[in-house]
A = this chain, B = another copy of it.
């Protein structure tokens, strides 16, 4: 046993014997160092072990806390998607979610939108206003194709916290993370190719597969630690997979973060089969663990990981500032970027760069992580109170999205239709599957302030689900 394993084992014993109880604050890193005469990094590693085991949880600026032995509600079991490559459908339902005019009367519980009212965002608005007011002709013109150097430098700086050593020339600015994903996938594939994805998976990526005539090989995924490497290996053996697309940190929709050993193993597996990985890290900086978990890209030593990210979840979606670190595919990615939208808008890039350079980014993200973690716990409480028995929920390690598995009898498309009547919308689970699986699942968002109206809306979702279940039982009975 290494030193950190010993310390972790000791702490685990104390938790199990009730020395530290549920909700208790554990010794600080410093205290642990003193107690066991270990280094800071050893102490951190010990806590990381316990976090991976879901025994403790880090809360920003407060330290580590003992988690309930039973997570607030049961976690869903490993997913069981189809066992062969599929064409992607579900566009009509995605369009219903993303195509809607924003209707002020409707409470959108399902969208992937961060808290946009935070005071820590205000400096960004000021920067944007100033730049647009005083921008010169250069900034009103076309930017260079790769994007503003100032912003790429800040991205490189911020990426060090996820273990990535990038050069500004390794980064390509895109129009949102969506364009980064589209470019990455189009760079790697031709129509008819197979792409392996974690499942459930972000509908935006699934629809990229559809639009490009690609097939999705959906891989069983554990809601606690991500894509099954065994199932993935089997798929790589059986099918001509051209790329692996995953969201391993603060996953959308499941909320898990893959443990670091598993991340490393995934990269090695891709190397063994000589397949590229498209890594979506858009929620990564919103991890509840500090320092934030490493990216797959940080284990990539031969340029096969195409890291996609952006500022839509950490700052504002409306900026449409994303980025791509395309590894060894830089030349093709640059071409794809050019034909897709040309150079990106200049001033939003400069505003984000300034915002980050002045330390506002880290401040804002710290604040949000704190808030989202609190909101998660509140929402979990509400779900526990108001949802039908047998409902199972995810336990997000970051971000602001909660995944619910309702009893199988409930069709969440119909649930959503019925909720429309009371002015509430959720994101039905089938959006996250190639072929309409996860019909009894749904996604909720806990980013915005959890107001009394939100509480009512969440209760309504639970009650309508309950009612549907009753009706179903009556029909059968």
Residue among A100, A128, A130 with max Cβ neighbours from chain B (10 Å): A128
A36-44, A311-319, A361-369, A452-460: which one contacts chain B? A311-319
* A83 on interface, CB distance cutoff 8 Å: no
Kindly identify which residue among B111, B130, B132 contacts A142, using a CB–CB cutoff of 8 Å.
Answer: B111
Q: Which residues of B contact A13 (CB under 8 A)?
A: none
A143-151, A216-224, A402-410, A462-470: which one contacts chain B? A143-151
B139 contacts A128, C-beta separation under 8 Å? no
Nearest to A148 among chain B residues (CB) is B101
Cα–Cα distance between A202 and B284 once the two chains are bound (Å): 40
A189 to chain B, nearest CB (A): 11
Cα–Cα distance between A318 and B135 once the two chains are bound (Å): 11
A204 contacts B339, C-beta separation under 8 Å? yes
In the complex, how many residues of chain A place their beta carbon closer than 8 angstroms to a beta carbon of chain B?
66
Q: Which residues of B contact A126 (CB under 8 A)?
A: 133
Kindly identify which residue among B113, B137, B176, B210 contacts A117, using a CB–CB cutoff of 8 Å.
Answer: B137
Decide if the interface of chain A is mainly helix, strand, loop or mixed: helix
* A477 on interface, CB distance cutoff 8 Å: no
A318 contacts B98, C-beta separation under 8 Å? no
- CB within 8 Å for A140 and B176 given contacts A211-B339, A338-B94: no
* A347 on interface, CB distance cutoff 8 Å: yes
Q: Which residues of B contact A91 (CB under 8 A)?
A: 335
B175 contacts A339, C-beta separation under 8 Å? no
Nearest to A121 among chain B residues (CB) is B140
A141 contacts B208, C-beta separation under 8 Å? no
Cα–Cα distance between A466 and B334 once the two chains are bound (Å): 36
Q: Which residues of B contact A100 (CB under 8 A)?
A: 144
Nearest to A179 among chain B residues (CB) is B341
* A320 on interface, CB distance cutoff 8 Å: yes
Nearest to A118 among chain B residues (CB) is B137
* A129 on interface, CB distance cutoff 8 Å: yes
B339 contacts A208, C-beta separation under 8 Å? yes
B129 contacts A132, C-beta separation under 8 Å? yes
Q: Which residues of B contact A179 (CB under 8 A)?
A: 340-342
CB neighbors of B among A104-137 (8 A): 111, 113, 116-117, 121, 125-126, 128-130, 132-133, 135, 137
Nearest to A102 among chain B residues (CB) is B138
A307 to chain B, nearest CB (A): 18
* A207 on interface, CB distance cutoff 8 Å: yes
Cα–Cα distance between A362 and B175 once the two chains are bound (Å): 29
Cα–Cα distance between A98 and B344 once the two chains are bound (Å): 12
Kindly identify which residue among B191, B208, B348 contacts A345, using a CB–CB cutoff of 8 Å.
Answer: B348
* A257 on interface, CB distance cutoff 8 Å: no
B144 contacts A101, C-beta separation under 8 Å? yes
* A95 on interface, CB distance cutoff 8 Å: yes
Cα–Cα distance between A335 and B212 once the two chains are bound (Å): 11
Kindly identify which residue among B121, B207, B335 contacts A335, using a CB–CB cutoff of 8 Å.
Answer: B207
B129 contacts A317, C-beta separation under 8 Å? no
Q: Mark A220-233, 1 if CB is under 8 A from B, else 0.
A: 00000000000000
Cα–Cα distance between A207 and B137 once the two chains are bound (Å): 27
28 examples of A-B residue contacts, CB within 8 angstroms:
A95-B145, A95-B338, A98-B144, A99-B144, A99-B145, A99-B338, A100-B144, A101-B149, A113-B142, A116-B140, A116-B141, A117-B137, A121-B140, A125-B132, A125-B135, A129-B129, A129-B130, A129-B132, A129-B133, A140-B319, A142-B318, A178-B341, A178-B342, A179-B341, A210-B339, A317-B343, A320-B344, A345-B348
Known pairs A125-B133, A140-B318, A142-B318; list 18 more (Cβ under 8 Å).
A98-B142, A99-B144, A102-B138, A102-B144, A116-B137, A140-B317, A175-B175, A175-B320, A179-B340, A179-B342, A190-B191, A207-B339, A211-B335, A211-B339, A317-B343, A318-B345, A320-B342, A340-B341
